[in-house]
Amino acid sequence: MFGPGSRFHAFFQDPRWALAVIRATVLEAAHPQIGAALIENSTFVAHPWRRLRNTVVSLQRMSGDDDGVRRREVARLNRLHARVKSTDGPGRPYDAMDPEVRAWVVATLFESSVTMYRLSGQPLEQAAMEEVYAEFRAYLAALDGDAGRLPPTVREFWPYYDRVVEEQLEDTEAMRIILYRLFDHLPAPPLLHGLPTLWAAGRAVVGPLLGVVTVASLPERFRRRAGLPETPGAQAMMQSAYLAAGLTRFLPDGWTQIDNITRLLASSPDGDDPAARTIGALRDRVRRAGALVRLLTPLPPDPDPGDAADGRRSAEEFFAAVLDQTGDGYLDWPDLAAMARELAGRLDLDEPEETRLYDAFAGWWRELQEALDTDGDGRVSAREYAAAVPSLAGPALIRVAEVLFDVTDTDGDERVDAHEYRTLFRAGFRRDMTGSDGTYSRGAFVRDFLSFMSGRERSTPYDPLFADA
């Protein structure tokens, strides 16, 4: 059911699937439980590119031909989802481990994949559709141990799908954010940092277009019930977008592989990725084009790099860029849990080490809450945080740094070598970070982490880890 050669695996290298995944994500977010979980726990608003890369990495692990890697990823995903449970604003409970909810996530991926083929002029034959459905049910079975929450056949699937759309989906805040705010305000990926004018100009065109195309592809009955606008010409625009995406399959394979694209976008132009360095060499020419764009548009000029020359940032900037991982304007446990989740995912930690890391971040949250939550509302505002700066490197934060070093130092030699460093930071050593023996000592690691997390340092390897979108 999995591995190279399966349809499930092939989807992840099909450029059309990007449109299908956006559509599926909107349908997921319209489910009240999923919508609440996204709003309160997800980083998709503040860190969309990081979320995209992590999703691609997870799908690669699940769709590969190594069953051991797949079982390990299933265990990691189940631990992650088990931590996502609470109640939404109206007091309704949500739980990311709810079997019905997980079945709906897989259902939207299958239905959107079928729709992708239909809208791009290549509808699946019945036998192929049955094969695809069997693979998606196998994916659910790998996660839950049982695919019984999805109907056994495609023929029985469609009444189930229509029933959920009619009876359970709502006009949720998360769905509206994805459709109308995420694309319109999507930050530049790390590779394009320093080119905000050019990025904003392109986003101003592409963002609304993606929103129109996605809305037009949704089930008509749901569009009407949710009050989503029907833009004139949207159906033709949607068909054209899917057909254009389908044509990219004739490009060389390396150009359209999703993992290559996401890795490149996540790279820093100043990093050590050869492809990123090649792109970086073109940035001067792109800046010249950006100068022309500024003459033709009212967009603000590119920021002066000298503004951050001292490596420091304001408390408000640090709060927004680093601490507020969910982008809701406050610091609370889901923000620190998102940091722990990112670290655990990068390091591919097993359960004991992952629990140690989460426990350390939970201790830091209790310390922050006690010290900064002056109005007692259970969260920390940007104003409360700024009023307490700069004395935030307490014992709990030191504990986080120590635990992070321990789980990064996989061989236990009390040094972070080049391989361990790259696993965490996805980049090579900086020249000023290694000792005389070419490694990163515990003391230096802890010191740099504390300097960053207390908001004092800007130019450290932790910026791409926590601050990049």
C-alpha to C-alpha distance for 278 and 275, rounded to whole angstroms: 5
Contact 40, 459 (CB under 8 A): no
Q: H/E/C letters for each residue in the chain?
A: CCCCCCHHHHHCCCCHHHHHHHHHHHHHHCCHHHHHHHHHHCCCCCCHHHHHHHHHHHHHHHHCCCHHHHHHHHHHHHHHHHCCEEECCCCCEEECCCHHHHHHHHHHHHHHHHHHHHHCCCCCCHHHHHHHHHHHHHHHHHHHCCCCCCCCCHHHHHHHHHHHHHHCCCCCHHHHHHHHHHCCCCCCCHHHCCCHHHHHHHHHHHHHHHHHHHHHHCCHHHHHHHCCCCCCCHHHHHHHHHHHHHHHHHCCHHHHCHHHHHHHHHCCCCCCCHHHHHHHHHHHHHHHHHHHHHHHCCCCCCCCHHHHCCCCCCHHHHHHHHHCCCCCCEECHHHHHHHHHHHHHHHCCCHHHHHHHHHHHHHHHHHHHHHHCCCCCCCEEHHHHHHHCCCCCCHHHHHHHHHHHHHHCCCCCCEECHHHHHHHHCCCCCHHHCCCCCCEEHHHHHHHHHHHHCCCCCCCCHHHHHHCC
Mean pLDDT of 10-39: 88
Residue with tokens 């769709």: 63
Taking the alpha carbons at both ends of the chain, their separation in whole angstroms is 34
In angstroms, what CA-CA distances link 74 with 71, 135, 370?
5, 16, 36
- What percentage of the chain exceeds 70 in pLDDT? 81
Q: Which has the minimum average pLDDT: 153-162, 258-267, 288-297, 383-392? A: 288-297
Q: Which has the minimum average pLDDT: 60-64, 83-87, 104-108, 131-135? A: 60-64
Residue with tokens 């360095």: 277
Mean pLDDT of 330-340: 94
C-alpha to C-alpha distance for 461 and 465, rounded to whole angstroms: 7
Q: pLDDT tens, 403-421? A: 999 999 999 999 999 999 9
pLDDT given for residue 435 in this prediction: 63
Most confident listed range (111-115, 300-304, 383-387): 111-115
pLDDT given for residue 359 in this prediction: 97
Q: pLDDT tens, 346-376? A: 999 999 999 999 999 999 999 999 989 999 9
Contact 191, 279 (CB under 8 A): yes
Mean pLDDT of 94-123: 92
C-alpha to C-alpha distance for 303 and 146, rounded to whole angstroms: 53
pLDDT band of residue 306 (cuts 50, 70, 90) is very low
C-alpha to C-alpha distance for 343 and 465, rounded to whole angstroms: 8
Whether the predicted pLDDT of 235 surpasses 80: yes
Q: pLDDT tens, 237-279? A: 888 888 888 777 677 766 666 666 666 666 665 556 555 555 5
Whether the predicted pLDDT of 307 surpasses 80: no
Contact 400, 389 (CB under 8 A): no
Q: What are residue 330's DSSP bridge partners? A: 381
CATH architecture, domain defined by 315-467 = Orthogonal Bundle (1.10)
pLDDT given for residue 254 in this prediction: 62
> Model's pTM, two decimal places?
0.81
Q: pLDDT tens, 178-199? A: 888 887 777 777 666 666 677 7
Whether the predicted pLDDT of 283 surpasses 50: yes
The closest alpha carbon to 47, from 456, 304, 341, 302, belongs to 341
pLDDT given for residue 304 in this prediction: 46
C-alpha to C-alpha distance for 230 and 236, rounded to whole angstroms: 12
Domain with CATH 1.10.238.10 in the chain: 315-467
